[in-house]
Structure 1
Amino acid sequence: MRLSRARGCMGCHGMLRKQVGPGFAQVAERYKDDASASVRLAIKIRAGSVGAWGRVIMPQQTQVTEAEARLLAEWVLAQHAEPKR
C-alpha cells in the first residue's frame, strides 16, 4: 500500500518479518481472532506504544490522520505470512 510507504511505516516494519518493529504479517497473525484489533491498532499507530512486542517502542505517528490510521490498521490485519513449503 502506498500509504504505508508515504507515512514511513516501511522504515521500521517489513511485510513478513521483524525489522525494527514486527512485520505486518506477524501483526496480522497475532490479532487474527481479535474483532477489536483494527480500532486498537489505529490508535496505536497515532499514539504510539511500547511493550506489545518486547522493548521496541512504536513512536507516535502524528502525521497520520485518524482516517489514514484506520486504513493502515485494516491493511496490516489483511496481510498473510508466506505459504509454508
Structure 2
Amino acid sequence: MNTEKIASVTASLALALGLGVGTLWPRQADASLALAQKYACVACHQPATKVVGPSWKDIGAKYGDGKGTAAQLAASIKAGSSGKWGPMPMPPQAQVPDADLQALAQWLLDGAK
C-alpha cells in the first residue's frame, strides 16, 4: 500500500473513531509547512509578507474559496509562471513530487494554517 493510501485510510479510521478533523488538521499543517521548508518555498514566500513572491495568505486569497483547485495550483507550481504576480517569474518546481505539490497546493488554498 502506498503512502497516500495509508494516509487516506488512517484519516478515515480516525474520523470513524470520532477523533474529528480538528485532531488531524495540526499534523497536516505541520507536514505542509515542513514541505514548504524542504523544497525551499520559504526562500521566496512567507505566511503574510511578500518577499520575492506573494505571501501564502495572498495566494490563498487569490485562488481559494473555489477560485481555483489544488490540482490547478499544483500544476502552476510545477510548471512555473510569469506575470501572474508581477514581473518576477516563478521558476518551475518540476523536482517536487506530484503528491507533495498537491499537498502544498491544498494547504495554500486552505489558508496555509
Give TM class, smaller chain.
0.7 to 0.9
1:15-54 alignment, distance < 5 Å? 15-54=47-86
Q: Which residue, 75, 78, 97 being the options, matches 1:65?
A: 97
Structure 2: state its 5+ residue gaps. Answer: 1-32
Alpha-carbon distance, 1:73 to partner: 0.3
Structure 1: state its 5+ residue gaps. Answer: 81-85
Provide the rounded CA distance (Å) in 2 between the counterparts of 1:8 and 1:56. Answer: 17
Higher relative contact order (CA 8 A, sep 6+): 1
Bigger Rg, which one: 2
Return the TM-score normalized by structure 2.
0.65
Which amino acid in 2 is paired with 1:27?
I
Return the structure number with greater strand share. 1
Q: Does the 8 Å contact 2:65/2:109 carry over to 1? A: no
Residue by residue over 1:45-73, the C-alpha shift from the partner in whole angstroms, topping out at 9 and shown as x without a partner, is 11100111011210011220111110000
Q: What RMSD, in angstroms, separates the aligned Cα atoms of the two structures? A: 1.4
Task: Provide runs of 4+ in structure 1 moved above 2 Å.
Answer: 32-37
Which amino acid in 1 is paired with 2:41?
C
Provide the rounded CA distance (Å) in 2 between the counterparts of 1:34 and 1:54. Answer: 23
Return the structure number with greater helix share. 2
Residue by residue over 1:11-68, the C-alpha shift from the partner in whole angstroms, topping out at 9 and shown as x without a partner, is 0001112100000011101122335331111001111001110112100112201111
Provide the rounded CA distance (Å) in 2 between the counterparts of 1:30 and 1:52. Answer: 11
Provide the rounded CA distance (Å) in 2 between the counterparts of 1:53 and 1:60. Answer: 15
Which amino acid in 2 is paired with 1:78?
D
Which amino acid in 2 is paired with 1:61?
Q
Bigger Cα displacement from structure 2, 28-37 vs 12-21: 28-37
